[in-house]
Amino acid sequence: MNKLSLKIVKSLTKKKLTVSFAESCTGGLLASSITSISGSSKVFNMGFVTYSNNAKIKLLKVPKKTITKYGAVSHETCLSMLINLSKIIKSDISISITGIAGPNGGTKEKPVGLVYIGIKKGNKAIIKKNLFKSKKRISIQKASVNQALKLILDIL
């Protein structure tokens, strides 16, 4: 993670771009991976850890009916988190993550390891559905962060 984070911070700094995050299942691990790099204060604007549905609704203005209809772990919720984050804080790049890190909480339809990661730059927004095979919570969280970092590199 550290090599990717360093590469991202250097690239964002060089291009004079900023980034913000809205994290759920990763609990701030993505923000930590960036802020662990010296000089990241030039590029990192803000990180929300909206772990509960209430936080998603209150802080990120995710409509309650979106969560009720599709669930907190869904393409729709991830997209709403992403779009509203980019409205709240005008970063050049926004990332949202919502998923089931386990080891409990999974269902047949939404198993442990299901994680949606959204990235937005300009008017382009992409939501990626991931299904990480590990049943270990920290492994799923780290894999989610790694995937988000790769998405940032791809968009740079």
Task: Give residue 103's domain range.
Answer: 2-11+21-155
Residue 78 domain-assigned?
yes
| pLDDT, tens only, 43-92 | 999 999 999 999 999 999 999 999 999 999 999 999 999 999 999 999 99
| pLDDT, tens only, 113-126 | 999 999 999 999 99
Q: What is the CATH number of the domain that holds 146?
A: 3.90.950.20
Residue 114 domain-assigned?
yes
Residue 122 domain-assigned?
yes
Residue 16 domain-assigned?
no
> What is d(CA 136, CA 117) in angstroms, rounded to the nearest whole number?
19
pLDDT of residue 2: 81
> What is d(CA 70, CA 92) in angstroms, rounded to the nearest whole number?
28
Residue 128 domain-assigned?
yes
What residues have CB less than 8 Å from 23, skipping those under 6 apart? 29, 30, 31, 47, 48, 49, 50, 96, 97
Whole-model pTM: value is: 0.96
Residue 145 domain-assigned?
yes
| pLDDT, tens only, 4-33 | 999 999 999 999 999 999 999 999 999 999
pLDDT of residue 1: 59
Residue 116 domain-assigned?
yes
Q: What is the number of domains present in the chain?
A: 1
| pLDDT, tens only, 121-140 | 999 999 999 999 988 999 99
3-state helix/strand/coil string of 50-96:
CCCHHHHHHHHCCCHHHHHHHCCCCHHHHHHHHHHHHHHCCCCEEEE
pLDDT of residue 128: 98
- Binning pLDDT at 50, 70 and 90, where does residue 156 land? very high
Residue 63 domain-assigned?
yes
In sign, the C-alpha dihedral spanning 62, 65, 70, 71 is positive
Q: What is the mean pLDDT of residues 86-104?
A: 96
